[in-house]
Each structure stands twice: as C-alpha cells, then as structure tokens.
Structure 1
Amino acid sequence: MNRTVSINLGGFFFHIDEDAYQKLNRYFDAIKRSLSPDGKEEIMNDIEARIAELLSDKIKNDKQVVGVREIDEVIAIMGQPEDYKIDEDTTGSSSSYSGSTYYNPEHKTRKFYRDGESSIIAGVCAGIAHYFRIDPLWVRIIFIISPFISFGTSLLVYILFWIIIPKAITTTEKLEMKGEQINISNIEKKVREEIDNISSKFQNVDYNKLGNNAKTGAERIGNGIGNVFMAIFKAISKVIGAIILIFSALTLGGLIIFFFTVLFTSAIPGGPWHDIMNFANYTEVPLWILALIGLLTIGIPFFFLFLLGLKILVENPKPIGNVTKYTLLGIWLISIAFSIYLGIRQATEVAYDGKVMKKEQILISPTDTLNIKFRFNEFYAKNVYRNTNFRITQDTTGNNLIFSNNVELFFVKTDAENPYVQIEKVSEGGSMSDARDRAEKIKYNFDLEGNKLTLDNYLVTDLKNKLRNQRVKVYIYLPEGTIINADRSIRHYHYNIGDHSLYIPYNDENHLYQLNGDDLNCLDCPEEEVDYDETEEDNNIEAHGHLKISNGNTDISIEIKDKPKDTIN
C-alpha cells in the first residue's frame, strides 16, 4: 500500500502516490540542472503549467490518484532533459535536438488563438495565419476587401472572432497556436526568445542620453501625466480611425455593388429593376452612366476617408503617389460638374405645373339628395383605401402603367343654380405646354347617373410618361341648401383647403349633409347628450351642459351655465 500526497502543480490540485511523486520530483530536478540560470524560473513555471494540463487530461475525476503510469506518459510527451542540447550564443540561447525525441501527433495539432504579439487590431488575422500556415498580410488583405463582397458580413465575423477566440498568453498557448510540440526544448526556446527580445530593447536604450536629458522630479511627473493623456488620445484616435475605416469601407462596398447591379440590369431592356429605376430618370441619360457618376462623385471622397482611417490605425502605411491623388481629384471634379449639370436638368423637367379641366353639370332638383361615393378597380386593387402614391403595374392588355391613388376631393360653395363637378388632372413638366400634355395623358373616370356621382379612387398613365407627380383634383360645387349623402369611402380622399372649401368630418358611417351658409351641417348624426353635473353646496346647485337639436334646416342650441339655485328661471 502506497501513501498518497496532495500537491499543487501549476495552479491545479492533484492526489499523487508517493512513488509517482518521487519520480516527478526527480524529473523536475533533472530539468533544473539542464537549464542555465537566465530565465530558469520562467521556464520552470511554463513546464509545470504544461505538465499540470497534461495530467488534468488524464484524470477522470477529482478523487483519482496520479500514479507512475501517468507520470511516465507525461514524461514521454515532454521528453527527457538529456535528449536536448542547449547551444549558447552571444545574443542568447537557442535549443536544438541532439537526440531522438518522442513524437506525439496529438500535440502537433494547431489551436486557434489570437496573436497579440503580431496584432494590428486584435490579432485575429495573425491567429488565422498561424493556424493555416500562411502570411498574415494575405489574411489582412482578405478582411479589408471582403466587406465589399459580403455586404459587411466579414466585419461581423471579425468582431465575433475577437470576442470568442482567446488570446495566446502563456508559452503553451503560443506554441499550440503555431503548431509546435509542447516539450521542454520548445518551452525553453520560446521563453528565451521573449527574454532576448526584452533584453535587446534595454540594450538599445541610450542611457547616457537619458541621463543627460533627465529633468527635475516635477518635470518628470508632468511628463508622465502628459504621456498618460497622450496614450488616452492615441486610443481615442484609434477608435475614431476604426469607425472611419469601417464606415467608409461599407459605403464604398455598397456603391460598388449598386454600380455593378445597375450596369448589368440596365443593359437589358425590361430586365429586373429597369422600369423602376428609369421611370424617374428625366434626363434620358443611360442608367449605368448615372450610376458611374454617382460612384465617382460619392466614392472618391469615401476612398480618401478609407485611406485616412487606415493611416490612423496602421503606422507608416504605404502612401499612394501624387499622380494617383491628382488623377482622382481631377476625375472627382469632372464628376461633380456632370452631377450638377444632370441635377439642373432633372430639376427643370419638373419645374412647371400643367392641368386640364373637365366640368359637368349635375341636374337634380333642390329637394333631391346628391349621392357621392368612390369606387376601386378590382384589377389594380382590392379595396377603396388610399394606400398607393405610385406603383408600376400592367393593364389587362399587358401595357406597363403607373398606378396611383393620388386623388383629392373638395366641396366648394357656388352661387349657381345647380351643382356641378369639376375634374382637374395635374402634372409636372419641363415647360407649361409639356406639363399640360402629360396631364392630358392621365386616365381618370367618373360616372354621373341622375343624382348618383361615382368617382374612381385611382388614376393611371403610360409608363413612358414617367413619374411627374400626376394627380387628380375633384371639385364638387354645391348651391345653398343642397343635400348630399356622403359615403364613408370619401373619408380617404376628402380635403379641406381653408376658406375655399367646405369640410366634412372624418367619419366611419354614411351621413346626410346640407349646405347652410358656409357649413355642411349633418342631418342624421347622433344628437349629443346633455351632461349634467349636480352638486349641492351652501344651498346652491350647479349644472352645465350643451344641447343641440337638429330638425331639417333649423339648428337649436341651448347652453346651460352655472347659476345659483335661487336664480334659475
């Protein structure tokens, strides 16, 4: 029966039998004897951490005791100190194999870590490069270009890797990141490389210069505070640079994708998006040229913003030549000039309003009721609601049309004997005659049968007329005393233009209205209930309310005001 010993190895707690403990101690002593004094402590700490990690993998539960067999397996992986020959040179020490070592393919597998030593932002690209054994430069180039192709998805992938992938901190993790065997030789080699790097930095310091430039204590404190603020400002500038870089890259990517989309779709008449993108193009310039001008006008400034963000993030980036700068500047100025020219042409094509008008008398007697309602065409829509400002569609014969619910209804008082309806079709154009011609091409219908006026709730025009803010205004002129039956459908199209038109409240029901003076009074709306609020205080009674009684052409309003009880008549 062997005794067990509890040990703490590399931050892990183990139960180990006495024979295994003695063998592990002898192994550590042999390693210490093989190491030179420089960096011995750091190397031993990394070796202990690695051995603890290997033992943890072999322990099934916390109560299992580490035996000699587990120690032998660990030693086989780590190797014996005498298997390595340490060669010292003037700059430090390096380890090389002088004998056969144990090879375990399991520990040659690379692991994905972020490389903080070679990082520009977070070390993700360097970690990927180590994992796939390629140059980090190519990975960084891929991440810079890929947002243009992946619609910014690669940026989200980078941020996700930044969050979930750990950074290689310990010597073991750095060796695993590069796929090197984690044994005594490689651990010692890695630690000594880090020590040599730190030593070389100290050796390159000009101590005489530092001594000659030494300041007073107050000056050093001031310089230290200044350095802190400079570090803060540099960090802020890095964040700003990253924001500029990401924003400009996404914008450039979107512009490039948009340009190629327009280029390939506009070349096919009737192809995807061709009609939608062309029906508001009043300049008649091909769409791909407009897209190219937009790309140059907007893209070149964002390209220089991209370079600015890159310059903030990366120290000493390779600058672009003056020839390239001035060439891009010249192209940008030319594209700005074309943009202004095309913008003026686009604006002049909608500078004038033109209209055509149609008037029709409504022959009804003074005692008749004028019924007004809107209707819809079930081929274009399935309801009478006003929900489409414009839409490209086809008629029953397959012709491309612009469909719109831009119809407005107004009620206006007139001194004429009979009511009448006036239809105004309005459009915009490059001149008054051009606007009038486009207005004449608007198709709008209504029906008048006796005392029934039925109005279309839509207009259509040929797609070649393009979108010019086509609209229809319906004016219904009413003499004094005219009674109308307003269908609930008019609530979506009825407008009030102040002193020049009559107003009907927005209502979900059909109601009768009569023109009295300057108002359309409701004849069949529910009467308002009288609201009494009675309280007694100091022998007084208070009451207030409002009563309205409608009967034909007469409205009687009674207002009850607060009065003392003894003064009510």
Structure 2
Amino acid sequence: MNKTVNINLGGMFFHIDEDAYQKLTRYFDAIKRSLSKSSGQEEIIKDIEMRVSELLTEKQKTEKHVVTLREVDEVITVMGQPEDYIIEEDGPNTTNNYNNYSAPTSSRKLYRDKDNGMVGGVLAGLGHYFGIDKVWLRIFLLILVLAWGTGVLAYIILWIVMPEAITTSEKLEMTGEPVTISNIEKKVREEFENVSGKIKNADYDKFGNQVKTGAERLGSGFSDFITTVFKIFAKFLGVILIMGGLTVLVLLFIGVFTLGTSVSMDFPWQSFIEAGNFTDYPIWSFGLLMFLAVGIPFFFMTLLGFKLLAPNMNSIGNIAKYTLLALWLIAVSIAISIGIKQATAFAVNGRTVQKETLNLKPTDTLLIKFKHNDYFAKDVNDRNEFMVTKDSLNNDIIYSNDVHIRIEKSDEKYAYIQIDKEAKGKSLTEAKKRSEAIRYGYKIIGNQLILDNYFITDAKNKFRDQEIEITLYLPEGTLFKTDSSVQDYDWSNDEFFNLHYSSDNYTYKVEGSKVKCLDCPADENEHNDVDESDNESNITINENGVTIESDSVVKTKKNFKELKINKDGIIIKTE
C-alpha cells in the first residue's frame, strides 16, 4: 500500500502516490539544474509545469484519480529527459544533442496568435492551424466582407470562441511543435532575446534628455492611430488591387486563346471582330497585342497589391521590370498605329445610286410596305443593325436592317424611287466598290411597292457603316397608303410628310407644300392647320364686320353679318 500526496501543479490539484511524487520532484530538480544558466529560467519552469499538468489532467478518469508512477513515466517520455541533452548558452552553433531520443510529434491546436495578428490574431491563428499564409486568409476575409458582408460576423464569432495563445506551451501547440523541455526552452529564449534586443536598441540618452508633456503624448498617440489607419487602408487597397489585377489578367488570357487561335473553338464574337478587321493580320495577334498593352500595367498593379499586403516580399528584379516595360512600349506603339489605320478605313464615303420609275395611273393609290426574310428574322419587327451570319448557301455574310425611307415631292410629272447604297473606305474607289457589293431588293407589283427591310453583303467586304437610303419621289396629287411596317423605317421630313403611327389605313395626298392625310381624325391632323405663333391677336366686332389682327399680319378680315349668343355658345356669321 502506497502513501498518496496532494499537490498543486500548474494551478491544478492532483492526488499522486508517493513514489510518483518523488520521481516527479527529482525530474523538476534535474530540469532546474539543466536550465541554471538559461535566460528566463522561471518562465521556462512555469511553462513546463503547466504542460505536465495538462498531460496529467488528460489521464485523469475521475476527480479522485490517483496519479501513478506509470503515468509519470509516460509524461516524462513525452516531455523528454533533461540529462539527454546539453544546452549551450551562447554562440551560433548552439545544439541539442539527443541520445537516441526523439520527441513525439504533436498535432496543432486552434489558438489566436495575437503577437502576429493585426487585430485579435484570429487569422494568424487560423493560418498556423491550417498551414496557410495569413495574407491569403485576410484576402478571403475581405472578399466575404465586400461580397456578402458576413466576414465581420464570422471574425467576431471566431474571436470569441478561439482562446489566445498566452503560455509558451500554448504557442508551441498552436504551431504544431512538440511541447517538450527543449522546445519550451528554445521558445522562451527567443522571446526573451526579442525583448532584450528592443531594450538594447532603445536610445536611453535621447529619452532621458526629453520629458514628454501631456500634449506630446497625446500627439504621439494620435500619430500612432493615424499610422494604424493608413496601414489598414493600405492592406485593403492591396486586396482591391490584387482582385482587380488578377481578374483583368485572367480575362485577357482567355481572350488571347479565344480570338482565332488554332486551339480555340468558334466563339460568337470572332466573326464580329473579323468583320471589322481591315488588315491581313490574324485576329489572335490583336488579342496578344491587347494582352501586352493592357495586361502589363495590371500585372504591375497586382504586384503593388501584394507589396502592400506583404512589404517584405521580394521584387521581381530590374531585368524583368525593364523587359516588361519595353514590351509594353512596343505594344502601345503598335496599337496606336493600328488605331490610326483603323480610323482611315472609315475616312471616305462611297455611294451607288439606282433609280426606277413607278407607272401609276392618276386614279391609283400607291401601297407602301416593308417585308422581312424568314431565313434571317422571325418577323418584320425583328431587327439587327449589324450581324455576321450565313445565308442559305452557307456563305458568311453581313446582315443589317440599317434601311431608311424618305418621301419627297417629285419635280417631275411621274413617280420614281431612288435607292442609295452607301459604304465607307479608306479611299473613294474602295468605298464605292464596297457600296456596289451591297445586295438589296424591292418589288413593284401593280400599285404596290414592296421593300426589303434588310440588306446583305459578303463578310469579306468587312463592316464599313453600310446602309440603304430609299427616297420615294411622288408628284403633286399622288394618293398613297403606308403599311404599319413603314413607321420603323420612315426618315421623312415631318414638315413635308408626317406619318401617323396609329393606323395603317390612312390615305395621304401629296399637295403643293406638304402631304395631307385625307381621312385622319381631326385631333391627329389638326397640327397641320394650327398656327403655333406666340404673337398676340386682337378681335374686333363692329358694324363693319369681324376683324382678327395679330402683331405681325392680319389673319382674317371678313364683313360682319350676324352675331348670336345662346346656350350653344357664340355664333358669328360673315359674308
């Protein structure tokens, strides 16, 4: 039967038998002797006691559990034997010589690392636990804050539930290092030397000769606050620069391999870009040029972001910097040259004119309408100003609904239609040739004028602002009707022909100075007769008649015959 002893070890109460107690006492005495010359001996002993206390607590099954000699031996095995190594105090060659002893590995525990953290040490602790650089965790946290706003809440919750690594043992557990006497002594010595170094570097003469006033201390504190704010802002700005730079670089990289390269598929925008390409260079070369001209500045912007987050990050070197700068200057110069040439491709306007007479009888009413092609559009309202597609024979073509019609008064005694095909180019010859290549159709069937609402041209002719201008010249007295489709293509001068959109059944007549709607409702046609002049008018009623005068001209002057006033209003009769 062994005697038991009650001890307090590392703030914890234990029941331990006498043999185990004596061995544990001898163990701590040996540790103290081995650390007699070490800096921070008391701190090391305290951490070792706390670690032994933690190991013994893990072995307790009940509150009345008695620590045995076997359990003390197991703890000593984990912590290591002091006599198994020699600790040399000074010199760069300080070594720990183990005699066939290796400390068991230890798993990481989750603590807050306030020493290396910016606020509460949460991200630094997570970085130790998962083996990730805390910079990336800070970037991820900012993304959560900006995208969903949950980053702040998550940080506060982790701050509450994660304990802070205070003791040396906890700091070793946080980094996954075995909590042994050797590691504890090493950790304490490092911290002690850091504090000693700061004290040695302090300029005591300077501080001894200066006595700070309350205002100076306040100013110093305010300066520290401003510095901290700028540091946080710099980190935030660094994340923004990194996110923006990497996004642009990825998009540019994808663009290089989706612009006509042999490894790419046919993307929808390839034909669109090819239609505007005026050179014989492959499209992928423009993607590469854009990648260099735009990507290099964003690459340096990304590097700046990383530098703001990690000031100690190594530079890419002067050779790389100057090489990228030279490539950027070359790419920008070529891009400017291409831009100038591209502008000249639209410098001159070319036009091809086609005319045809409309054989209308004086009693005919001309019917005007637009029609679509079922192969290119689902109905007449399905419009596209510019589209690269294929025709029924599978040829690449440019399709466009850039078609307009104007109704004008004919100087001749007959009606006729004029089709202007227009296109641009770097020279008049090229522009005219491109306009001649436009394919546009219309039909004259009896008294009907049926116009295509589109035109096409071969894709090899490129897109150069091609358009169709239709002018319908009608002599005075001509009657005509418009289909509802005309309203989307009518570019007529409203002072001559004002198309009424509410119906396609109205009949129009060409008169001397304008086109008149014969059967439009009064409220729709009255704008043709109302004088919009702001001049003041005077109305005089006497025995000489009714006189209406304005500031500029006399509008009406008739003899007065009869004036009646009754429930229907005022009735004026004139001769």
Give the TM interval when normalised to the shorter protein: 0.5 to 0.7
Q: Secondary structure at the match of 1:359?
A: strand
Q: 2:226 aligns with which of 225, 229, 240?
A: 229
CA distance 1:321–1:110, shift in 2 (3 Å):
closer
**In the alignment, is residue 512 of structure 1 matched against residue 496 of structure 2?**
no
Contact 1:79 1:102 in 2 (8 A): no
CA drift of 1:449 comes to 0.4
The letter of the residue matching 1:247 is G
Equivalence for 2:546:
none
Q: Secondary structure at the match of 1:333?
A: helix
Contact 1:407 1:493 in 2 (8 A): yes
Partner Cα separation in structure 2 for residue 364 and residue 70 of structure 1: 122
Equivalent pairs counted in the alignment come to 487
Partner Cα separation in structure 1 for residue 371 and residue 418 of structure 2: 18
CA distance 1:51–1:156, shift in 2 (3 Å):
farther
Equivalence for 1:432:
428
Contact 1:425 1:473 in 2 (8 A): yes
Equivalence for 2:242:
245
CA drift of 1:488 comes to 1.8
CA drift of 1:432 comes to 1.7
CA drift of 1:441 comes to 0.6
**In the alignment, is residue 350 of structure 1 matched against residue 351 of structure 2?**
no
CA distance 1:477–1:68, shift in 2 (3 Å):
farther
Contact 1:428 1:470 in 2 (8 A): yes
Partner Cα separation in structure 2 for residue 71 and residue 111 of structure 1: 25
What is the TM-score normalised by the length of structure 2? 0.67
Report matched runs for 1:209-358 at 5 Å. 209-212=205-208, 214-217=210-213, 218-262=215-259, 264-265=261-262, 274-358=270-354
CA drift of 1:458 comes to 1.2
Contact 1:373 1:487 in 2 (8 A): yes
The letter of the residue matching 1:238 is K
CA distance 1:123–1:257, shift in 2 (3 Å):
farther
Partner Cα separation in structure 1 for residue 263 and residue 277 of structure 2: 12
Q: 1:37 aligns with which of 24, 39, 42?
A: 42
> Which shows bigger deviation, 511-520 or 433-442?
511-520
Q: 2:478 aligns with which of 473, 479, 482?
A: 482
The letter of the residue matching 1:440 is E
Contact 1:245 1:305 in 2 (8 A): yes
What is the TM-score normalised by the length of structure 1? 0.67
Contact 1:83 1:100 in 2 (8 A): no
Report matched runs for 1:454-465 at 5 Å. 454-465=450-461
Unaligned runs of 5+ in 1: 1-9, 11-19, 59-64, 144-151, 529-563
Contact 2:399 2:457 in 1 (8 A): yes
Partner Cα separation in structure 2 for residue 113 and residue 411 of structure 1: 83
The letter of the residue matching 1:239 is F
**In the alignment, is residue 472 of structure 1 matched against residue 468 of structure 2?**
yes
CA distance 1:82–1:120, shift in 2 (3 Å):
closer
CA distance 1:527–1:344, shift in 2 (3 Å):
closer
CA drift of 1:110 comes to 4.9
Partner Cα separation in structure 2 for residue 476 and residue 45 of structure 1: 101
CA RMSD of aligned residues (A): 5.3
Equivalence for 1:391:
387
**In the alignment, is residue 377 of structure 1 matched against residue 373 of structure 2?**
yes
Equivalence for 2:560:
none
CA distance 1:102–1:490, shift in 2 (3 Å):
same
Q: Secondary structure at the match of 1:467?
A: coil
Unaligned runs of 5+ in 2: 1-9, 33-40, 525-564, 571-575
Q: Secondary structure at the match of 1:279?
A: helix
The percentage of counterpart residues that share the same residue type is 28
Deviations 1:83-116 (A, max 9, x none): 544587648x99999999997x9xx555788977
Partner Cα separation in structure 2 for residue 46 and residue 520 of structure 1: 104
> Which shows bigger deviation, 433-442 or 334-343?
334-343
Contact 1:248 1:305 in 2 (8 A): yes
> Which shows bigger deviation, 287-296 or 420-429?
287-296
**In the alignment, is residue 568 of structure 1 matched against residue 560 of structure 2?**
no
Contact 1:496 1:503 in 2 (8 A): yes
Q: Secondary structure at the match of 2:201?
A: coil
Partner Cα separation in structure 1 for residue 347 and residue 245 of structure 2: 35
Deviations 1:524-553 (A, max 9, x none): 55978xxxxxxxxxxxxxxxxxxxxxxxxx
Partner Cα separation in structure 2 for residue 343 and residue 109 of structure 1: 62
Partner Cα separation in structure 2 for residue 526 and residue 110 of structure 1: 90
Structure ID, larger Rg: 2
Partner Cα separation in structure 2 for residue 337 and residue 102 of structure 1: 64
Deviations 1:349-393 (A, max 9, x none): 111111112222222234332222221111112111143122221
CA drift of 1:343 comes to 1.3
